[in-house]
């Protein structure tokens, strides 16, 4: 346990001084687990000191010193990151009131996993939810081949953006007319990495901007740099081309947790609300498909003109992500 405490001291210090580092970024994605692990280690160490044998008493004061030091560092790292954690989950609910008497649009979103072969369960889930718009990330050629008849019959407006060597990309299926901007406008980051379209809002005879984004997963240093480059280009293009008064929604497999250094750097310029932040912690991605190691990397950003219902987040068969279902409309 003495060795474990030494490791904790080094790890916690590293997280503070290297917040923009690749390894620190991965670790802080599981921020709540870090705090619980530190607390558990401290409890075990205190227990061992109380019950240790006499021959080990010579290390007692060293271990007590390390316990105090790790406690201070744990509180330090908690103070550093918890403000973002609680801010993320306790924002004002002014924009999430949806009256039943008003018109609304229902959306189903999921990162379905490009190797997912449980087509029937996915199709049945969509049938049960009966959304107006279906947004699928990691939608592959195999998915399109197996489900094309279903989507053709039920969703006449389709945008497919396939861009990777795995033949997987983003797909949007809609009962509401879509204007596909990515097919008609050459905007570097959007055409290369993102889907951008407009949804027709019949109630106001107006359009709602919809972005569907899947940035690279930072599973290696190369992908970490790639993700950061994609986020930077998206923000640059968004600020350059976006019309501020247009109602806007960004559905995003961010591959970035809300307490990340890069999340804060991005969102301070975006000036949109993260709709998932209205609810209790909903960890949307599991590490190595194990339920106990989850992070929150799927986000839903909305402009202040959009009001949204509480988001229903559920497990999805064969996927390492959870799905979103929600209602939204525009405030005028």
Instruction: Please report whether residue 308 resides in a domain.
Output: yes
Structural domain that includes position 11? 2-89
d(CA 326, CA 307): 11
Q: Do 127 and 155 fall within a single domain?
A: yes
User: How do strand 178-180 and strand 194-201 relate by DSSP bridges?
Assistant: antiparallel
Token pair for residue 178?
Answer: 């879509």
Instruction: Please report whether residue 256 resides in a domain.
Output: yes
| pLDDT values of the chain reduced to their tens digit, one per residue, 332 residues | 556 666 766 676 676 667 778 888 877 777 777 777 777 777 777 777 677 655 555 666 777 777 777 777 777 666 666 655 555 545 455 545 555 546 789 999 999 998 899 999 999 999 999 999 999 999 998 999 999 999 999 999 998 886 655 557 889 999 999 887 765 555 555 555 577 888 887 665 678 899 998 888 888 888 899 889 888 888 888 888 787 778 899 998 888 888 788 888 888 888 788 887 655 455 666 554 555 667 788 889 998 888 888 888 888 888 888 898 999 988 76
Q: Do 83 and 109 fall within a single domain?
A: no
CB within 8 A of 128, min separation 6: which ones?
A: none
Q: Do 57 and 127 fall within a single domain?
A: no
Summarised one tens digit per residue, pLDDT across range 61-120 is 777 777 777 777 777 666 666 655 555 545 455 545 555 546 789 999 999 998 899 999
User: How do strand 322-330 and strand 312-315 relate by DSSP bridges?
Assistant: antiparallel
Burial bucket for residue 175 (CB in 10 Å: 0-12, 13-18, 19+) = middle
Name the domain boundary from 27, 59, 89: 89
Q: Do 170 and 296 fall within a single domain?
A: yes
- φ/ψ region of 259 (left if φ > 0, alpha if ψ in -120 to 50, else beta) reads alpha
Q: Do 155 and 211 fall within a single domain?
A: yes
136, HSE (Cβ side, Cα atoms, 13 Å)? 29
Q: Do 320 and 241 fall within a single domain?
A: yes
Name the domain boundary from 89, 117, 144: 89
Instruction: Please report whether residue 52 resides in a domain.
Output: yes
Give me the CATH number covering residue 114.
Answer: 3.60.10.10
Token pair for residue 202?
Answer: 């019949």
When divided into structural domains, the chain yields a total of 2
Q: Do 247 and 316 fall within a single domain?
A: yes
Q: Do 187 and 52 fall within a single domain?
A: no
Q: Are 157 and 183 in contact (CB under 8 A)?
A: no
DSSP state of 54: G
Q: Do 192 and 241 fall within a single domain?
A: yes
Q: Do 29 and 133 fall within a single domain?
A: no
Q: Bridge-partner residues for 323, per DSSP?
A: 314
CB within 8 A of 101, min separation 6: which ones?
A: none
Q: Do 131 and 255 fall within a single domain?
A: yes
Instruction: Please report whether residue 99 resides in a domain.
Output: no
Name the domain boundary from 61, 89, 117: 89
Instruction: Please report whether residue 113 resides in a domain.
Output: yes
CA neighbor of 258 nearest in space, from 319, 316, 222, 300: 300
Instruction: Please report whether residue 129 resides in a domain.
Output: yes
210, HSE (Cβ side, Cα atoms, 13 Å)? 30
Q: Do 81 and 115 fall within a single domain?
A: no
DSSP state of 321: B
Instruction: Please report whether residue 100 resides in a domain.
Output: no
């Amino acid at each position: 346990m003495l060795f474990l405490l030494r490791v904790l001291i080094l790890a916690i210090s590293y997280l503070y001084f290297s917040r923009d580092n690749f390894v620190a970024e991965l670790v802080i994605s599981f921020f709540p687990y870090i705090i619980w692990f530190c607390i558990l280690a401290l409890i075990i160490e205190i227990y061992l000191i109380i019950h240790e044998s006499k021959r080990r008493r010579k290390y007692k004061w060293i271990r007590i010193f390390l316990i105090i030091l790790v406690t201070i560092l744990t509180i330090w790292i908690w103070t550093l990151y918890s403000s973002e954690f609680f801010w993320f989950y306790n924002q004002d609910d002014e924009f999430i009131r949806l009256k039943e008497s008003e018109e609304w649009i229902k959306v189903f979103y999921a990162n379905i996993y490009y190797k997912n072969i449980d087509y029937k369960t996915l199709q049945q889930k969509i049938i049960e939810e009966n959304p107006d718009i279906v947004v699928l990330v990691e939608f592959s050629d195999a998915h399109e081949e197996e489900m094309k008849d279903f989507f053709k019959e039920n969703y006449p407006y389709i945008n497919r953006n396939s861009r990777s060597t795995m033949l997987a990309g983003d797909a949007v299926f809609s009962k509401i007319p879509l204007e596909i901007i990515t097919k008609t406008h050459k905007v570097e980051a959007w055409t290369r990495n993102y889907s951008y379209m407009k949804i027709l809002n019949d109630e106001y005879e107006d359009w709602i901007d919809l972005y569907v984004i899947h940035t690279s997963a930072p599973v290696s240093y190369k992908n970490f740099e790639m993700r950061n480059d994609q986020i930077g280009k998206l923000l640059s293009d968004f600020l350059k081309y976006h019309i501020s008064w247009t109602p806007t929604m960004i559905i995003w497999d961010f591959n970035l947790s809300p307490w990340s250094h890069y999340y804060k750097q991005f969102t301070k310029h975006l000036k949109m609300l993260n709709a998932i932040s209205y609810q209790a912690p909903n960890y949307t991605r599991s590490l190595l498909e194990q339920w106990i190691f989850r992070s929150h990397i799927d986000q839903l950003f909305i402009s202040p003109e959009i009001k949204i219902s509480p988001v229903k987040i559920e497990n999805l068969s064969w996927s390492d992500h959870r799905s979103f279902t929600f209602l939204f409309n525009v405030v005028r």
